[in-house]
């Protein structure tokens, strides 16, 4: 866990990538640890929102090239090597998908460089903010392979522009925070290049989310994910089934009582 710093502010957990010398490039122990952190988040009902941020000069410069080189350095049989590499990719995909399927909303606070795996991670988050000087690139194309950890699946849906997503994926060209905002990848840009400014912006949103009904927030996330991957009719059916259970949680009664009594609602920690 030396490669991560965890900090709680009320019901918000901040996960800080802590390998600044390597610009938070990820090796296998790091992404395995990140997967385990998100498993623990799902089991901790006191956590209502998560922020991801990088320590130092970058959010993440992508995959640790030393780690990638060791993975490819093999003399085994083709069948065995193929199976091993495929399992490695699947395990890596599962680690990033753990961000997307986290029970609570995850906010990416981006600054510096967001390259390759950095975009994989950011694309799996619910909300993305960036410092005004942040630079992005779907960098895998320059390493001789297609992005395989989630960018090609999530990034086009996040921006809603297939042609632009293809251009960026085919060329690997860098784009800045303003372009990322215009294409819909970001929810906002901080007014400075400061890491602290974008963290404060993210924390404001995270605390606002944490003040809402956990049942309502978690239900909203589940329904949005379901709607993205299914037809309108199927998602409406899913919503009806889901909310028939959620309505029994007590949060609706508390919200109504608080409104009538002109007070702030007090919601219990819970998981849907």
**Rounded-to-integer distance, Cα 222 and Cα 112, Å:** 31
DSSP state letter for 230: S
Q: Which two tokens stand for residue 152?
A: 């090609």
User: pLDDT by residue (tens digit) across 133-157?
Assistant: 999 999 999 999 999 999 999 999 9
**Rounded-to-integer distance, Cα 78 and Cα 44, Å:** 43
User: pLDDT by residue (tens digit) across 38-75?
Assistant: 999 999 999 999 999 999 999 999 999 887 766 666 66
3-state secondary structure 46-108: CCCEEEEEECCCCCECCECHHHHHHHHCCCCCHHHHHHHHHHHHHHHHHHHHHHHCCCCCEEE
**Rounded-to-integer distance, Cα 226 and Cα 218, Å:** 12
List domains and CATH numbers for the chain: 4-211 (3.90.226.10), 214-261 (1.10.12.10)
What is the structure's pLDDT at 204? 98
**Rounded-to-integer distance, Cα 160 and Cα 241, Å:** 28
Model's pTM, two decimal places? Answer: 0.94
User: pLDDT by residue (tens digit) across 213-266?
Assistant: 999 999 999 999 999 999 999 999 999 999 999 999 899 999 999 999 999 999
What is the structure's pLDDT at 227? 97
Side-chain-side CA neighbours of 63 within 13 Å: the count stands at 24
Confidence of residue 78 (pLDDT cuts 50, 70, 90): confident
């Amino acid at each position: 866990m030396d490669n991560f710093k965890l900090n709680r502010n009320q019901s918000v957990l901040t996960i800080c990538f802590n390998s600044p010398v390597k610009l938070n490039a990820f090796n296998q122990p790091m992404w395995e640890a990140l997967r385990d952190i998100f498993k623990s988040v799902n089991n901790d009902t006191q956590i209502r929102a998560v922020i991801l941020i990088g320590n130092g000069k970058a959010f993440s410069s992508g995959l640790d090239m030393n780690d990638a080189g060791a993975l490819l350095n093999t003399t085994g049989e083709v069948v065995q090597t193929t199976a091993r590499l495929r399992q490695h990719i699947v395990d890596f995909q599962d680690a990033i998908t753990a961000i997307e399927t986290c029970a609570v909303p995850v906010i990416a606070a981006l600054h510096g460089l967001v390259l390759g795996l950095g975009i994989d991670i950011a694309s799996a988050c619910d909300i993305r903010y960036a410092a005004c000087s942040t630079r992005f690139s779907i960098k895998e194309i320059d390493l001789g392979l297609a992005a395989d950890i989630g960018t090609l699946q999530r990034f086009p849906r996040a921006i809603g522009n297939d042609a632009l997503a293809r251009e960026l994926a085919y060329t690997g060209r860098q784009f800045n925070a303003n372009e990322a905002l215009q294409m819909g990848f970001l929810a906002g840009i901080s007014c400075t290049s400061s890491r602290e400014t974008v963290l404060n912006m993210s924390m404001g949103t995270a605390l606002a989310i944490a003040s809402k009904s956990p049942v309502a927030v978690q239900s909203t996330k589940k329904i949005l994910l379901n709607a993205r991957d299914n037809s309108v009719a199927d998602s409406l059916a899913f919503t009806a089934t889901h909310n028939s259970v959620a309505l029994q949680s007590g949060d609706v009664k508390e919200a109504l009582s608080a409104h009538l009594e002109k007070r702030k609602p007090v919601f219990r920690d819970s998981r849907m």
